[in-house]
Structure 1
Amino acid sequence: MAATATSIRSSCHCGAITVTVPRLPEYINVCQCTICRRYGAAWGYYHPDEVKIETKPNAVTKQYVWGDGDLSFNFCDNCGCVCYWWPIQPPPTDGGEYQMGLNTNNVNPELLRFVDRKFEYSVLMSPLRSKDTAHPDDPAKY
């Protein structure tokens, strides 16, 4: 994906990891699940094919995978910024949604000032496939 005038650039604090997407997100989700609220992340969603991820030489992207193991949270090993989450599972064959999450808190806030923010609480009650992998603070019913 080539950067254009409408592209949005996101980077970690030290600049080692840069993520570029083709447009503003439809909305920003301030997810309240057990991990996102701890990260303080505010997600914009994109199809993985639309996303360009670049790392500087010798930069290390670390991953954290939890719960159902469906996605990885990716962060800079140097400055610790959570940059994005990425789907681990292949795209659904039934035509369902396939997306990644860009942490919009790493984007120039002036670019996002007119993008609606949603605080997603319904995910709190969405159970994982197995209670065995749930976080102890998970209030979902199993």
Structure 2
Amino acid sequence: MADESTPIRASCHCGAITVTVPGLPENINHCQCSICRRYGAAWGYYKPDEVKIETKPDAVTKQYIWGDRDVSFNFCDSCGCVMYWWPLQPPPADGGEYKMGLNTSNVNPELLRFVDRRYQYSWVKQPLRSKETAHEDDLAKY
């Protein structure tokens, strides 16, 4: 079992992509927005500058970007595992929170068994900047 300061490694099923973060996440979030619930992802959040992403020489990381185009969902082109989401916008000028999401479903579950889990529904009705870019299942009020 890992502690908060032991680096955690996530890898896709075929091993082409690995992501290393500095320790256990504060919690694991099962976001219920229109894309995350379809991915079945279990996100742990980290500062982008503390994350190390490695790919094997011929590995391809594909991206899915939609809506406000604020984040890219990144997955292995070979085995299809969703590995992480990455912010596409620069950090806030006011020094506010800036993070990426690691799909902890790609981590050894034994390492995470004592990390609190939550189901976040706040994004279900969070409006995008433009209704025109929203998913058809979007429940936000515009």
Determine whether 1:95 maps to 2:95: yes
Q: Which residue of 1 aligns with 2:137?
A: 137
| Secondary structure in structure 1 of the residue aligned to 2:58 | coil
Tell me the distance in 1 between the aligned counterparts of 2:129 and 2:116: 31
Q: Deviations over 1:59-118 (max 9, x none)?
A: 000000000000000000000000000000011101111000000000000000000001
Runs of 4+ with >4 A deviation: none
The equivalent of 2:54 in structure 1 is 54
TM-score, normalisation: structure 2: 0.96
Tell me the CA shift for residue 37 of structure 1.
Answer: 0.3
> 2:13 maps to what in 1?
13
Counterpart in the other structure of 2:124: 124
Q: What is the match of residue 31 of structure 1?
A: 31
Residue identity in the other structure for 2:79:
C
What are the ranges of 5 or more consecutive residues in structure 1 without an aligned counterpart? none
Distance 1:131 1:90 in 2: 23
- Quote the residue 1:67 is aligned against: 67
Amino acid aligned to 2:121 = Y
Any idea what SS the aligned residue of 2:123 has? helix
1:43, CA displacement in angstroms? 0.2
> Displacement, 1:122?
1.3
Unaligned runs of 5+ in 2: none
CA distance in 2: counterparts of 1:37 and 1:124, whole angstroms: 10
- How many residue pairs get aligned? The number is 138
| 1:123 shift after superposition | 1.0
**Identical columns (%):** 80
State the shift of 1:131 in Å: 0.4
Question: Which residue pairs with 1:22 in the alignment?
Answer: 22
What is the alpha-carbon root mean square deviation over aligned residues?
A: 0.7
Aligned match of 2:40:
40
